[in-house]
Structure 1
Amino acid sequence: MRLSCGSHIETVIHVLRDSVQARQLWDRVLLPSLSSRIFTWNLRDWFLNNLKQVIILNNEAFSWSSLFISIVWQLWKQRNDLVFSDLTQPTDALLRRCIVWAKYYANYMPKPCKPRLIQQTAVLWGKPPAGWMCLNTDGAVSLSTGRGSIGGAIRDSHGVWMVGFSKNIGISSILQAELLGIYIGLTIAQSSGFTKIIVQSDSTWAIKILDDINAIRSHIPLVQAIAGLRMCAWELRFQWVPRCSNYVADRLAKFAPACHFYLVQYASPPLGIMDLLAIDSIATSTGAATPALD
């Protein structure tokens, strides 16, 4: 792989923060309250601490968090432009583009009208109890083409990433996509040696079918296959969750490549879901929404 700045090792944090190009940009915009610490945090803490900064910048109509995520995106895009197209742009031009996008985010992001009510009704990722793994899965089907994709992620009770996946499944029904996502996720969990799994899906239909006592005799082959996996030597629970608790799996399903049907596995989380993982980490730090194992 061609590296963007000549370094012998290129990591995500290097591209987004520590490279020469990135440092030049961050030095232009850093908040005084962050400047002494921003280059010492690891990737997770770096994202979390910056996304929590809701300070409105001087003479601007957007917050630091909006500018931060805009810069992250533009730095990553610039890295890909350099590697794949041999294109680059000056720091000033890149900064102007970041500010334009930050204003766009600020103008079009939904504004909370009643913070207290939102705080009471917000639904976070439902972390599993200690000793359990949580498998979130999702299936998506295009209404215009009928083509489907699946995605999922396995995390522990601390929100630590174990593995994720995406797959293009071709022409599919919505139920078939949901069931296939669960089946593929369970086979990955089984091959990884996990013995206590909570499967979370936002498909009421799929969860109801799989929790039926007669699932093993279903006329749907995928339901039979999943019911067979349930009888293996592990503890397995199915749980319906609202879609807003399942955004990570939803986005991973959208990452499925359209050009092939191979299963793509992610040993570490893709950059494109880091914002969602940062939000989900609130659940692990506050103890929110741990599912009951009735």
Structure 2
Amino acid sequence: MPFDEWMVGNLTDSSRSCSPEDKWNILFTVICWMLWKTRCSNIFNNSNGRFWDVVAEARRLRDECVSDAPTGGVVAGVNDGQGVSVKERWKLPMHGRVKVNVDGAVRGPSKVASIGGVFRDSNGSWILGFARNIGSCTALMAELWAAHDALVLAWERGFRYVDVETDNKTSAAILNIEIVILLENDLVQRLRKLVLQDWSLSVKFIHREANMVADKLASLAQSRHLCEMVFGSPPSEVVSLLAADTA
């Protein structure tokens, strides 16, 4: 069989597996991405990624993709079949993992920018948050700075099983090394080095409705004129949003 036919078959046929629950086309896609990511990490970071670790992580990500797929309208703007539009909600990370939501905010003609993020555990409990003003920049660069600060904090605090969520599709694609724009940008180069460190890291795009705490923290940096702040406990402005996420 020609290689291109073999590849297309694996990417489109969900039944190419011993078990129908495998969702083979999804699993195959994730394995290919994980193998590439592991290869890059082995080459550039001298890490020692192993094949069986790749398969286990690919199955976890496959399960997450399947569970997050819109069934009955779980994504913002999707009809639930009864004429009701259901908004996307924040979801708990899997046991043993930390979820980090990040956001950037740019205001006014001078493009005053700020960033914020929140770390939560598998119970939805607050671990820490951060916020700071970053001067003037574009919305995309603000989103990337938010991701950068989150990854640096996560690594420094010893978290090695991390799920990052952002409501900016381009930022998520850059972090997932799905698009090769801004390669000469110093921040993007820093981000790629962080992403390829020896940890279990996933980056996912979500809608704004599932990112309200990070959004508020980014806004808070501007209203409080914060240079840099790490919050060990949640600021009063986000308490109700945290409760709504886990209600």
Give the TM-score normalised by structure 1.
Answer: 0.53
Name the aligned partner's letter for residue 233 of structure 2. Answer: S
Amino acid corresponding to residue 139 of structure 1 in structure 2: G
- The aligned residue for residue 187 of structure 2 is 222
Question: 3-state DSSP class of the match of 2:118?
Answer: strand
Which amino acid is 1:157 matched to? S
Residue 166 of structure 1 aligns to a residue whose secondary structure is strand
Distance in 1, Cα, partners of 2:175 & 2:157: 22
Report what 2:158 is aligned to.
Answer: 193
Matches within 5 A, 1:148-227: 148-212=113-177, 218-227=183-192
Identity of aligned residues (%): 34
1:136 corresponds to which residue? 101
Find the aligned partners of 2:215 and 2:236 in 1 and give their Cα distance.
Answer: 15
Shift of residue 136 of structure 1? 0.3
Matched, 1:247 2:212: yes
Task: Check conservation: 1:215, 1:224, Cα contact below 8 A.
Answer: no
1:233 alignment counterpart: 198
- The answer to whether the 8 A contact 1:168-1:262 is kept is yes
Which residue of the other structure, out of 238, 244, 247, is the alignment partner of 1:279?
A: 244
Once the two structures are overlaid, the 10-residue window that deviates more, 158-167 or 251-260, is 251-260
In structure 2, what residue type is equivalent to 1:247?
Answer: M
What SS is found at the alignment partner of 1:268? coil
Quick one: structure 1 residues 232 and 144, their matched pair in 2 at CA, closer, same or farther if it must change by over 3 Å? Answer: same
2:117 touches 2:146 (CA, 8 Å); kept in 1? Answer: yes
User: 1:199: how far off?
Assistant: 0.6
Quick one: distance in 2 between partners of 1:175 and 1:134?
Answer: 21
Secondary structure at the counterpart of residue 221 of structure 2 = coil
> How many residues are treated as equivalent by the alignment?
169
Provide the C-alpha distance between the structure 2 equivalents of 1:218 and 1:164, rounded to a whole number of angstroms: 29
Judging changes above 3 Å, is the alpha-carbon distance between structure 1 residues 116 and 219 closer, same or farther for their aligned structure 2 residues? Answer: same
1:166 Cα offset (Å): 0.6
Aligned mates of 1:118, 1:145 — CA distance in 2: 42
Deviations 1:197-255 (A, max 9, x none): 11100000111122126769922221211110122221111100000000000000011
Question: CA–CA distance in 2 between the matches of 1:216 and 1:193?
Answer: 30
Task: In structure 2, give the amino acid aligned to 1:158.
Answer: N
2:153 maps to a residue whose letter is I
Residues 175 and 191 of structure 2 are in contact (CA less than 8 Å); yes or no, is this contact kept in structure 1? yes
Pairwise CA distance, 1:262? 2.5
1:83 alignment counterpart: none
- The verdict on how the C-alpha distance between 1:214 and 1:115 changes in structure 2, with shifts beyond 3 A counting, is closer
Which structure has more strand as a fraction of its residues?
2
Confirm or deny: 8 A CA contact 1:216 1:227 kept in the other structure: no
Is the contact between residue 173 and residue 179 of structure 2 (CA under 8 Å) also seen in structure 1? no
Report the Cα distance in structure 2 between the residues aligned to 1:179 and 1:158, rounded to whole angstroms. 27
Where in structure 1 do 4 or more consecutive aligned residues deviate above 3 Å?
114-120, 213-217, 257-261
> d(CA) in 2 for partners of 1:132 and 1:229?
18
Distance 1:246 1:118, change over 3 A: farther
Q: 1:246 to 1:184 in 2, by over 3 A?
A: same
Secondary structure of the residue that 2:123 maps to in structure 1? coil
Q: Distance in 2 between matches of 1:274 and 1:210?
A: 29
Where in structure 2 are there 5+ consecutive unaligned residues?
1-78
CA contact (8 A) 1:215 1:227 kept: no
Residues 128 and 134 in structure 1, CA contact (< 8 A), matched pair in contact too? yes
The 3 A distance-change label for structure 1 pair 117 and 266 is farther
For residue 256 of structure 1, give the secondary structure of its aligned residue in structure 2: helix
TM-score by length of 2: 0.63
Tell me, what secondary structure is at the counterpart of 2:204?
strand
